[in-house]
Each structure stands twice: as structure tokens, then as C-alpha cells.
Structure 1
Amino acid sequence: MHDPNKPRVLITAGASGIGLAMAQAFDADGYEVWVTDVNEAALNALPSHYHGHLANAASEGDMKAVFTKVEAAGGLDALCANAGIAGPTAAVEDVELADWQQCVSVNLEGAFLAAKYAAPLMKAAGKGAIVVTSSTAGIYGYPFRAPYAAAKWAMVGLTKTLAMELGPYGIRANVICPGSVEGPRIEGVLEREAAAKGMTRDEVYVGYAVGTSMRSFVEAEDIANMAVFLASPKARLVSGQVISVDGHTENPDPKI
């Protein structure tokens, strides 16, 4: 049963990686945690007190069904629109339209649908916080990752618009732009980028790290901690902001 004194957060793609770190951080901060994901096994592995739902963030039917359940449970205090995929790593002339569309759909349309169905619940409450996971690729150009960069830039524009549109209702919206986050997902990116550039995986890894002033990759927990802060009363007048958690990216592609 829902504790009325507990705020509620919904995290898309929250069963692994950055999303799971967010779920754990919000749980530790006293939130009732709702999670959507396409990975049923990962959902089944979540703690029993999490509300896990099998749903594709880019499917309007799936998201509408989940938010109907959230509304019936009492509404929503915070949304982390976190779903995303890396998309292809290739020169722009080699990118297939289907791969472009899939990447843009999961990243951009996933954030749009989450916001679309969260907004009415937050408007009814007269408050709320939306946190969108973009990327430093949403700030810089990103060679060989055109679909991903395009989607992540668009997510920044979407979130700034949400901040302007929803602010009068007491709702804040901000973007987190992670840098290179340690974990299985980045390994695939490193391998594909190494192949595209004729480099080794380790050369690409080092290039990413030395492209930051702190000479380091990011941990998922670093992103999660920022999300909790942005959803909290401590950030009550922080809205429409693009906040990088990346060790300060000086050059997103040091080889160029």
C-alpha cells in the first residue's frame, strides 16, 4: 500500500545501468519507486518493493497503460525519462534510415511520451520534477554517431520547452548530460567506435578519458545523485537547465 507521506518517482529504463542507479538512489531518499523497462529478467530481479512494469518507452500504448496505473495509485512527484539506446556507429552515409529512426524513437519519443503522460498528473498536483537523461552528445557534435547526437540535442530542446510550458504549474524540467559512464553499454560503444576509426578499444577508452579535465569516466551513481538533487526541494528554482555530469568534457573526440 502506498504511504501518502512518500513521494513517488517513475524511471523509464530503470532496471539496469543508470536507471537502476537512479531507482536505488531515489529509494534511499525515501521515494516510492516505479520502474519501466523492456528487460523482463532485469525487472524480475528488482527489489520486491519496487513497482516494475514491462513497457517500451517508445510505445504510446505501453506508456499510457503505465501512467494510468500511476494515476490510480495517487499521482507522480518525479519523472526520470531515462530510456535510450546508443544507435549505430557509422559514417553518416552508411547509416540506415531504419537504424536512425529506431535511435531517435527510443531516445526522443521515449522522453516525449513520458512527459506527455506525466504532465497532467503533475499539473493536477500543482508540482513535480522532470529529469531527462540526454548526453554530452546533446551538447557537442559527435562524429560517427549522427542519430544519437541528433536525438540527444533534440531532448535538450524538448526539456527546455517543458520547463517553459509547465513552470506556471509548479513543474520543473531539467536535463542531465552524462559523459562516458562505466558499464556494459559503453563497452559496445567503444568496440564499435574503435572499428569505425581503425583504433583499438583501449585507445578509444583512453581518448575518452583524456578528453575530460578530470581524466575520468563517470559512475552511474554520479548521474543518479544529480537526478535526486534535481527532483528535491533543494533545487526548487532550478529549471530549464542542462547539467553535465562528465568530469568536464574538454573535447568529445580528442583524435579529431
Structure 2
Amino acid sequence: MPSVQSVLDPRWCSAQATWRERRRFQETAHTLIRLPESGVDPWDCLLTEETWRRLAPPGEQEETVLTALSQTTGIYFFPSREWVGTFCRFVQLLRVRRVLEAGAGRGYLAAVLAPWLSRQGIDFQAIDCAQGEFESGLPRHPVVVTGDAFAEVEAFWPDLVLSAWPPPGQSIAPFCHCASVRYVVFIGEAGGGCTGDPADWHRFRHRSTPFLSRFGVGRSGRQRQDVTVFFGAASQIFRKIAEIRDRRARRQSVSRLSDLHDKMPQTIMASER
């Protein structure tokens, strides 16, 4: 691996960059962001938080560098070793038994999650529709299967769905409404931003997770990235909210019927005149 000191120079991916500078950026990106090959520990392919801070220091140029890195590699979320370790401990504390990664892309995250979760006795599946935005030349890890995550969620029956940087406008509602899903972990921008459906933040009960948000980095930079946990149909919170809404709906229905009953004689009398 090359030295990480200023290795991703913003000038290499600027509009004024020369052909050689762009080529250097692409070669460096593919050297840094690698999928594990046969016999290679996936953990060794992840970078640490310290390395990421050196690669893309926080500031005005951070988003420029990370967006170019995403375009070059076809990866939107770059998990660090610290992020993966924290996430796996989080899943274990939640007593989750089955995890589905929806929109797993080329498997940069799935490649390391699969063995880690397996060691904890947790079933894991990664799925992607294979219609990514960028053609990066980065191969897909065999742990990722091609298919429709919205259909697979009903077949795999997960406790937790992980969705990292879904396309703009794509709602997580089918995951939240699945009867087996307790949690949907959404990685993107708070409130939707340039990924997912902003309406989901109004539809479903959710909570930001600072202990996960502080690790890893997305294509738009650290300041805009947020990891949000949405509560699915199998969670107690979801059920309580559904019960409250049902009670409100019944009260409103009774109230409307009462109003209609009071007005009906007047309506009939008026029609007979």
C-alpha cells in the first residue's frame, strides 16, 4: 500500500487536473480500495480511521476527494475497521440472528461482515440489483448475490436490514413493513439528503446512532454522513405506534359517524322540502 501522506491530492481529481494526474488518482484509488482475493483476510483490506483522516482530511476539499474516489471505485460508503467492529458489537447487543445487506454493491462491506457475523452465529446475506451508477472495473465479491432486495426480505426473513447509500428517492418502507424486521440501519445523510427518501424520516420512528456515525466515511464527507436506525414492524416501538394510530383512526371514524348521524335528519328534511 502506498504512503497515505497526502496520497489523495485534490488537484488530481479537479477540473484542471491533467491526464497524468487523473490516471494517478485512479491507480491510487484502486490500490487503496481492494476486495479481498482468495486466501486474503477481508479485514486486511479495510483502512483504519487514522488512515482515512490522512487520505481525506476534513475541510473544503474532503467531499471533492471522496466523490471522485466513489466514482472511481463504484463504492459509496467506505467503512473503517473501527466501524465494522462497532457495528458487529451493536448487532450482537440487539440479539439479532439474521442480517440482510440491501444494495450491497460490489461487496466492499459485505466481504468483511460475512465472516465476522458468521463467527457470532448470525446468518448474513448480501444482495444487489447489479445496476450501479458507475462502471469502475472493481470486481464484485462472490458473497454478493444478484437480486431484488425488496423481494428477498420476505424470503430471507431478517431481523435487521442494512442499507448503505440507496439511490435518491428509494424508500425503506418495504423493509420497515416486513413482519420479521426489527431494525433498518440506514447509512447515508441525515434526513435523507442526496440518498434515500426524505419522507421516511416522517413516516417511521428512528434514532441517530452517534457511536456508528463517528466511524467510516461516505462519498459526501464525514460532516454530512449519519447512521440512522429505523424501527421495523417486528419492533415493540413500531407496534405501539401502530396501535396508537389505530386507536386514533377509530376515534376519528366514530366522530365522523356521530357527526353524520346528527346531520342526517336535517339532510333528509331538507331534501323533502
TM-score, normalization by structure 2: 0.30
TM-score, normalization by structure 1: 0.32
Higher relative contact order (CA 8 A, sep 6+): 1
